Amino acid sequence: MGLVRKHARQRLEEVLPEEPTPDALLGLLGDPDVECRREAALGLVGVTEAVPELLVRAGVEKDPRVLESILITLAAHDTAEVAGSIAVHLASDDAWRRTAAAAALATMPRSVPALMPALIAAPDHDVRVMTAMVLAALPHPEVRTWLVRMISEDPHPNVVTAAIDVLLPAATLEDVALLEAAVRRFPDDPFLRFTVQSALPRLAGTPA
């Protein structure tokens, strides 16, 4: 990877022999060289005027590494506009795009909380599963509240299981009733039942 990054840096220096300007870096976002695009995206960190073009590029970029770099650069702004635009990718057909979007949103504690009511109630249950992934790393005091709501109210077992997975590392004996109620709501879902039953001995303080 070090050699690849060195090659990308050399290519940037060949194209831009002097310190690149934001406009020059924006022009390289469409370069045929993947690593050149990636380096250009990372070079635009903190450049507010680059946000509109980066949002456009996030929607058309085909390389997972470049997209990840674009989203990292965008997420550093942590604004409602950026968060809303990134959240759209949670519904993508591409698993790597969904995952990259979730990872970026999880680093945006100022703007993402305002999106949570809509994300938790999204019509697409796959978006709600990805929302649980966002909550797994989002540093915000309401994370537990949102997870409990998903576990107790969401109508899809995959969403409930995803939320339980996120809650379990910090779950306590007080959460046993919540988890058991989730199993009763979906008695025919073996994975959800297994997830909960595997955790109950630890929460109750008894050997598995």
Q: Residues 104, 71: contact at Cβ < 8 Å?
A: yes
How far apart (Å, rounded) are the C-alpha atoms in residues 189 and 204? 23
How far apart (Å, rounded) are the C-alpha atoms in residues 125 and 39? 35
pLDDT at 20: 85
Type of residue found at 59: G
pLDDT (tens digit, 9 = 90+) per residue, 19-33? Answer: 789 999 999 999 999
CA-only gyration radius of the chain, Å: 21
pLDDT at 205: 80
First-to-last alpha carbon distance for the chain, in angstroms, is 43
pLDDT (tens digit, 9 = 90+) per residue, 37-92? Answer: 999 999 999 999 999 999 999 999 999 999 999 999 999 999 999 999 999 999 99
Could you give phi then psi for residue 188, rounded to 5 degrees? Answer: -100, 10
- For 50, 136, 149, the CA distances from 145, given in Å and listed in that order, are 35, 13, 6
Sign of the Cα pseudo-torsion (153, 159, 161, 167, in order): negative
Alpha helices in 44-175 (DSSP H): 51-60, 64-75, 80-87, 95-105, 116-120, 125-137, 143-153, 157-167
Type of residue found at 33: D
pLDDT (tens digit, 9 = 90+) per residue, 104-158? Answer: 999 999 999 999 999 999 999 999 999 999 999 999 999 999 999 999 999 999 9
pTM, two decimals, is 0.89
How far apart (Å, rounded) are the C-alpha atoms in residues 6 and 180? 53
Place of tokens 């537990």: 144
pLDDT at 15 over 80: no
Q: Where in the chain are the domains? A: 113-208
How far apart (Å, rounded) are the C-alpha atoms in residues 181 and 126? 22
pLDDT at 204: 84
| Residue 198 pLDDT level (bands cut at 50, 70, 90) | very high
Q: Which of 57, 115, 35, 120 is nearest to 83 (CA)?
A: 115
